[in-house]
Structure 1
């Protein structure tokens, strides 16, 4: 159980923060930037939920919980030392990505195939989901960059990759199942 009885600690005033294993690093470290971007993504999902109802809201709620799991995973380096932690270390698992894939497959059944690229526009929910997609892509790029320097759970990278696909398909669903998608017209303003 998490207990937050004091929000400010003053331990980060010099530009450092603690990782999940207690190590102190610069706040601009790639690992911190990666999980900070996952936190930003979670906030954009919360904004999308302002426009979502029913099943879409339920699915976005699941994603928000997954994103906290992902942040917990990314904030703890040294996966090979997980057994030394003295408690179960939270890591992303392939089942979370498999759930996204199942949801994508179900949504795609409701859509006509695309014959053009689409603009991030249309309904308020669709536009917000496109914003989620772009923030997810940035979080993925940062996590992949981190993986070139330190060990990263492969399930975390795969989840982020699939999540941006999920947001793309969900944005089409939010545009009247693709019927209100705004198509890109190449060179339209030349």
Structure 2
């Protein structure tokens, strides 16, 4: 059984940094029936980087994996995560995890890996957009407009002309917004580069 190494060096963690157990995906795979035993894997570049064993019982799923933090010894982890159920608008029931972290029991769809799989609040995780710098958000917004205009992604790529069939007024409005976001992103990047150069004494 592959392990999960908890602990991340540098910066606060976001939800994108973590391995996730999404009960919706597990339910869609038909694996929430009592008696099911299976392995859930994570891959990167086609290579397995971690896995976890799960065994479904009545109203709970037992997790089985190994964990270590910051290079410490591997530790065997084996514990149940209880389930809750809610009705769906079109019939049937939807499954939820009850966060197994001590004192929590929040009803959530996703658990995030660590020494213990727990909810976002218990791991004190932010969504990636909450950790983005202003210039990152500006760059993302500019790229959204570039996609709508049919331009190549990336604010350093040259802009192109008006898409066929788009009104000039719409194009000019989008182009102005794109340029404003691009200028904000480039100014932020330049400022950050200046700070880094100062720290390095360049």
Does the TM-score normalized on the shorter chain lie above 0.5?
A: no
Specify which structure has the bigger relative contact order, considering alpha-carbon pairs within 8 angstroms and separated by 6 or more residues: 1
TM-score band, normalised by shorter chain: under 0.3
Higher alpha-carbon Rg: 2
TM-score by length of 2: 0.24
Structure with greater proportional strand content? 2
Structure with greater proportional helix content? 1
